Amino acid sequence: MRLITTVHEMKSVAREIRAQGKSLALVPTMGALHEGHLSLARRARRECDAVVVSIFVNPTQFGTGEDFTRYPRNLEQDLDLLAPLQVDAAFAPGATEIYPQGFDTFIEPGALAAPLEGAARPGHFSGVATVVVKLFNIVRPDVACFGQKDFQQALLIRHLARDLNLDVRLAICPIVREPDGLAQSSRNAYLDAEDRRAALALYRSLRRAQELVDAGETEARLIVEEMGKVFAAEPRVTPDYAVVVEPARLSPVQRVTPGCVALVAARVGSTRLIDNWIIAPPGTSDDERIQLALERSCSGGL
Ligand code: AMP
């Protein structure tokens, strides 16, 4: 695996790969890699002949007062984790390599960026969209792998790729969880033992939503109320939002049907965590759930 730190070298390595007639997959990450990221790298490996994993803590997607400076960084450990996965290159540029002095052009995503994470983190999705388009232009991948973990981000990048005629196919991969259900996240490293226990409220609230649907409940108002009760029982956790939406516009629904998505964001101490769950009948696999939600997002006017 090559470690690449400059845009120039990354472009030339990607060009070499393409010249050999190989297909190329990109996995964009902010590092502090965990099994969730590695599952994306494995998917990339299955999708294409060559794989690039980018590791870049993108300053433009952090707001003032957010955790950019303390975000976990451990390049050596990340490279060790990638080593056994047959990744061709790790692209780990510094901030000034991606945003040299005078950088002054940003992508402004539309309505999908307005609610939920967009409302809680002004400017976040503009930073995400900008860095993703830059990475796509540098690497020019055939396939790019994103996690369902950041559901709104995945939808938005899909929309962006379509709107801007980008020649890239997106692969959206299921959420990798700890054995007790907590979604894996680089930010879980911030949690002390008590917060780690309390953080399970996010997953529990999502499970509660699915349980109610399994029992025949379809009224979103009631389901969201029950999700709120799960948070209320955990005083260390302050929910930011707990909603059930349709995936076309991410608008709240009245009736919960398969392919709707329950999304939560909450603060556990000073750590902000997000998670989501695609509602589907029992026995539906994680990949099928993603398919279901994506189909609904297409039929909804994208
Ligand atoms: P990040 O490093 O947090 O920016 O995440 C990089 C990519 O990994 C994004 O596409 C995330 O959605 C994805 N990702 C993060 N956590 C998980 C997880 N637990 N399971 C699957 N994918 C994940």
| Tokens linked to 276 | 């989501």
**By C-alpha distance, which of 258, 250, 263 is closest to 218?**
258
Average pLDDT over residues 272-293: 98
What is the number of alpha carbons within 13 Å of residue 78 lying toward its C-beta?
23
216 CB neighbour count, 10 Å cutoff: 6
276 in contact with ligand 1, CB cutoff 6 A: no
Min mean pLDDT across 61-65, 254-258, 294-298 is at 294-298
Model pTM? 0.98
Determine the 3-state secondary structure of 54 from DSSP: strand
pLDDT per residue over 171-204, tens digit each? 999 999 999 999 999 999 999 999 999 999 999 9
Query: What's the DSSP call for residue 253?
Result: P
Whole-angstrom distance, CA of residue 15 vs CA of residue 277 = 38
| Tokens linked to 37 | 């990221």
Nearest CA to ligand 1 atom 14: 147
Residue 300: pLDDT over 70 = no
8 is catalytic: no
Whole-angstrom distance, CA of residue 109 vs CA of residue 121 = 14
149 in contact with ligand 1, CB cutoff 6 A: yes
Nearest CA to ligand 1 atom 11: 147
Which of 26, 27, 29 is the best mutation target for the ligand 1 pocket, counting ligand atoms within 8 Å of the beta carbon and taking the most? 29
pLDDT per residue over 5-42, tens digit each? 999 999 999 999 999 999 999 999 999 999 999 999 99
Determine the 3-state secondary structure of 178 from DSSP: coil
127 in contact with ligand 1, CB cutoff 6 A: no
pLDDT for the residue 298: 76
183 in contact with ligand 1, CB cutoff 6 A: yes
pLDDT for the residue 302: 39
pLDDT per residue over 101-158, tens digit each? 999 999 999 999 999 999 999 999 999 999 999 999 999 999 999 999 999 999 999 9
40 in contact with ligand 1, CB cutoff 6 A: yes
Determine the 3-state secondary structure of 185 from DSSP: coil
Atom of ligand 1 nearest to the CA of 32: 2
pLDDT band of 299, cuts 50, 70, 90: low
22 CB neighbour count, 10 Å cutoff: 13
Strand ranges inside the chain, DSSP E:
2-4, 24-29, 50-55, 89-91, 143-147, 169-173, 237-245, 261-268, 271-278
Residue 293: pLDDT over 50 = yes
Residue 301: pLDDT over 50 = no
Average pLDDT along the chain: 97
In a 10 Å sphere around its CB, with 0-12 CB exposed, 13-18 middle and 19+ buried, how is residue 101 labelled?
Answer: exposed
Instruction: Pick the catalytic residue from 8, 34, 37, 159.
Output: 37
Average pLDDT over residues 219-229: 98
Residue 157 CA to ligand 1 center (angstroms) comes to 14
The answer to whether 34 and 187 have CB atoms below 8 angstroms apart is: no
130 in contact with ligand 1, CB cutoff 6 A: no
